[in-house]
Structure 1
Amino acid sequence: MAGMGVPVGSGGRVTRRTALLGAAGLTLTACAGSEQPDASPTGSSSATASPSATTSPSPSASTSPSPSATADALPPVERRVSLPQLMREDFDGGPVTRVRRQSVTDAYERWEVTYPAGGTTVSGILLRPRGRGPFPAVVLCHGYIEPSVYVTGQGLAREQDYLARAGFVVLHTDYRGHAASDPAGDVERESRLGYTRDALHAVASLKQLPAVDPERVAMLGRSMGGGVTLNALVAQPGAVRAAVVYASVSSLFTENLDQFTIPNRPESAQELARRFGTRRGAPDFYAGLSSRTYFDRVTEPVLIHHGTADDTCPPPWSRRTHRLLRAADVDSTLRLYEGEQHAFIPQWPLSMERTVRFLRRRLDA
């Protein structure tokens, strides 16, 4: 039987930082695993298994909550390397420059582009459907691919094609340090704050295109890009109208540190500890890089897809993120897919059907 998501209406919105962090519990868990490239296959087979439903688990043990913050009352900036710092920044984007037309299909044109992200130039891929527009639009945030081998537009090729054929303008950001983008610093890369800046500037740049309806822009992120998307939602509420995350990393920064950075880039984890303190000595620093700390700022509906057999980003991560979003009165829907792994192949068509329905409903509301 097809799985039912768990939609939650935001209703009368109340800030719940205390309840949120109480449910989250900033317990530091060590997870063994390896970071796998997230280059999505270019094709997919038809769905062969039914997705399962999920319910919200019971809250875990809690620690002392942080001070409350809303979209109007920002949390204090303890460190410049933090999500509260992004909350205070302006994301104006700028002109999307077409560099080279890659291809023309029956449904859209595909261009290599660049756009400004503050003082950084970021490359990416733009897909524009045929027709006059204005069209709804989506910024795509790809998952982890080793930057030294990454090529422009890599990682979400299936999603680019599917969404453009469904009538969306698509801007796939390469992020800084990837493809033809300007270089990225170690801290902005490992903290993912640089990538979050690039995603938010991509939204602002996309809204300036004549073919785009600026009132109907969404964001979709996969794996690491799911974490970037959640960061963007807490950093700049209202920047997009809706968000979709696939097989996302954890919304708790230290879980990603244990799962990916320490096993694969231990020197990067050591550098974070040297510059900013250990997780025991500087818990506020690590909480300040965790989107769940600020879920009470999210104003957009969120659709989460996750496979139950995902051994790269464990399914409990999305279950917990979904539960904490709900605790913060966010309109969150979690769709679990029985037997689906991190790459999302058999049931990917079903997930995209649901994604397009969700986006059309939310962007046209």
Structure 2
Amino acid sequence: MRTPRALVVGLTAGALLGACTTAGPTDQRGGGTTGPGPTAYASSSTTTPPVTSAPTTGTPSSTPSSSAPKPAPDPASIEALIATRYDGGNLRLGRERGSTSAYRQYFVTYESNGLTISGRINIPRGKGPFPAVVLAHGYVDPATYTNGETMLRERDHLARQGYVTLHIDYRNHAQSDKDPRNDANLRAGYTVDAVNAGLALQKVAYVDPDRLAIVGRSMGGGVVYNVLVVRPGLFRAAVAYAPVSSDTVDNFDKWVRRDASRAGAARAVIDRLGTPEANPTAWAATSPRTYFGRITEPLLIHHGTADEDCPLSWSRESVAALRAEGKSVELDVYPGGRHTLTSPQWDTSIRRTEAFLARNLR
């Protein structure tokens, strides 16, 4: 595991989500945009988490009273995501396209805290209600991303096994609404969209509301980590393929801090939070690993030894941190596997995913 200093020297998977612009760990492809939308967050819940605020300068004139209200958590933090009230719903089917003898496939939209999020959904033929899986995709440049273009293999396979599969596009992608503050909030809005996707699925008649899972890959694996710590109990099980790190330092250093083209994104965050060295507590609050003790669901991780984007060591460190908290986690390692697994390793991985979901969603 990393040292305490390493835990807080960079951004989290959430930070990676906030700083990616034109590169990052990529997703396999397969596969319009609307005007500006509101912020990622709704009003805070009645349960107020510990607050981590940005650093202050100068000497305070007096010591705050113990009864003084605490400042709101920074919108980039896990604490802000925990405090958010989620209102996912209004899942609407659009044009049918790509249906098979096993399932019907539709363009879909749902509501996510004031934004409309697009996606693609497969609904098994036959009598429901069915278990359901939210699919959180990896990084693709939002400027070129098209509706439902990634995770085609997972979406097809699991639908053929009787799961409703909802692939979400995230805000600022495809036909989803715009959130101009998302980058400044370290793209924590992606986590908001994933949580609301689960809530939206619970409200439709063809889904069993008690049998939900989430599957993410690469950047979407970071979304999975965030969702598990932010809304424990919403999903019954989770799977991450080649996930980014759960430790802030790894993602920030690899994709943001040393990249001159991302200096503006890095500066926008540092201007608010301070540098990781100057304000480590604020930066630790952006990391899901800091909050692994909140997780209640089993997690399966797939990772190749030759991953060119997200090293296997990141998943090993996440697994060690989860086990230190007594959490249920499995790590399946694929010798020679790249960031996007190919057959026959992918075939093995999806069979293991299928068995894992069957055990935990029965």
The normalised TM-score by structure 1 is 0.81
Identical columns (%): 43
- CA displacement at 1:77 relative to structure 2: 5.0
Seen in structure 2, the aligned counterparts of structure 1 residues 21 and 119 have a Cα distance that, compared at 3 Å, is farther
> Aligned with 2:7: secondary structure?
coil
How far apart are residue 261 of structure 1 and its match? Answer: 2.4
The alpha-carbon distance between structure 1 residues 359 and 189, as it changes in their structure 2 partners (threshold 3 A), is: farther
* Alignment counterpart, residue 75 of structure 1, candidates 50, 71, 77: 50
- Report the counterpart of residue 88 of structure 2 in structure 1: 93
What letter corresponds to residue 145 of structure 2 in structure 1? Y
Pick from 24, 40, 46 the counterpart of residue 35 of structure 1. Answer: 24
| CA displacement at 1:28 relative to structure 2 | 3.6
Matches within 5 A, 1:1-365: 25-26=6-7, 28=9, 35-40=24-29, 74-76=49-51, 78=53, 79-81=73-75, 82-188=77-183, 191-262=186-257, 263=259, 265-346=262-343, 347-364=345-362
How far residue 353 of structure 1 moved from its aligned partner, in angstroms, is 0.1
Q: Is the 8 Å Cα contact of residues 188 and 195 (structure 1) preserved in structure 2?
A: no
Is this contact kept in 2: 1:125–1:171, CA < 8 A? yes
C-alpha deviation, 1:228, in angstroms: 0.4
Cα offset, 1:155, TM superposition: 1.7
How many Å separate the matches in 1 of 2:151 and 2:6? 33
Shift in Å at residue 37 of structure 1? 2.6
The amino acid across from 2:84 in the alignment is E
Amino acid of the structure 1 residue aligned with 2:94: V
Quote the Cα distance in structure 2 between the aligned partners of 1:143 and 1:189. 19
Deviations 1:335-357 (A, max 9, x none): 11000000111300100000000
Contact 1:21 1:293 survives alignment (8 Å): no
Secondary structure of the corresponding residue to residue 96 of structure 1? strand
Aligned-residue Cα RMSD (Å) equals 2.2
Judge conservation of contact 1:308–1:341 (CA < 8 Å) in 2.
yes
Cα offset, 1:257, TM superposition: 1.3
Which residue identity is paired with 1:171?
A: L
Measured in 1, the distance between the counterparts of 2:235 and 2:317 equals 23
Contact preservation (8 Å) 1:40, 1:343: no
Contact residue 219 and residue 243 of structure 1 kept, 8 A: yes
Cα shift at 1:117: 0.3
CA distance in structure 1 between the partners assigned to 2:122 and 2:333 by the alignment: 29
SS at match of 2:210: strand
Q: Aligned residues, how many?
A: 314
Shift of 1:304: 0.5
The 2-side partners of 1:103 and 1:41 are apart by 12
Q: Structure 1: give runs of 5+ residues left out of the alignment.
A: 1-19, 43-71
Q: CA deviation at 1:217?
A: 0.2
Change (3 A) 1:257 1:190: farther
Q: Residue 21 and residue 312 in structure 1: after superposition, are their counterparts in 2 closer, same or farther (change >3 A)?
A: closer
- Which deviations, in whole Å up to 9, do the C-alpha atoms of 1:132-171 show, x marking residues without a partner? 1111100000000000000010221111101101110011
**1:216-272 deviations in whole A, cap 9, x for unaligned?**
000000000000010000011101000000000000123111111232523211221
Q: What is the CA–CA distance in structure 2 between the aligned matches of 1:86 and 1:123, rounded to whole Å?
A: 21
Note the C-alpha offset of 1:190. Answer: 6.1
